[in-house]
Amino acid sequence: MIAYVTVGADDIARAKRFYAAILPALGYSLTEGPEGLSYALPAPPDQAAALPDFYVKPTFDGRPASAGNGAMTAFEARSQSQVRDLYAAALTAGGFDAGQPGFRDAYGAHFYVCYLRDPQGNKIALFSSDPNEPGRDE
C-alpha cells in the first residue's frame, strides 16, 4: 500500500491555490506548515489513518523542483461531473491542461479521466470509473 506521495514546488502559495481547487472536494484536509502542504484523508473508524497522504514541499536539497518524467499522481473522483468540475477549477487555479476530461480508447469503458499539470509541472490525473454512469460506448 502506498503511504504517501510527495511532489516538489518552488512556489508553495501558487501550489496551494491549485491543490485547494481539487483536493478538499475529494475529502482531503490541509495541514500547512513551514515544511509545506500536507493533505490527508479522514481516518475511518478503528483505523489509524486513511492512505495515501499527499505532500507538496520545497525540495530537500534546495535546488529547483522539477516534475518527474513519467511520474503522475491520480486522484479518484466520485463522478464524471466531478472530474469535469475539478478540471475546470484546477485550470482556473493556475493548472495547465494535459488532457481534457473524457474517455480514452486504451482504458476500460467506464474510465473517465482528465490530466493536468500543476503550476510546477507535476502531472495529475482525476478519474472516475463508476459502472453506474454512462460508458464510452453507451
Question: Would you kindly state where each structural domain of the chain is located, as residue ranges?
Answer: 4-59+72-128
Stretch (H or E) spanning 100: strand 96-103
pLDDT digit string, tens, across residues 80-92: 999 999 999 999 9
Provide the CATH number for the domain formed by 4-59+72-128 in this structure: 3.10.180.10
Between the alpha carbon of residue 22 and those of residues 19, 29, 62, 63, the distances in Å are: 5, 11, 27, 27
User: Is the pLDDT assigned to residue 46 strictly greater than 90?
Assistant: no
**How is residue 83 written as a grid cell?**
472530474
- Given a contact cutoff of 8 angstroms between Cβ atoms, the answer to whether 39 and 55 are in contact is yes
pTM for the predicted model, two decimal places: 0.92
* pLDDT band of 135, cuts 50, 70, 90: very high
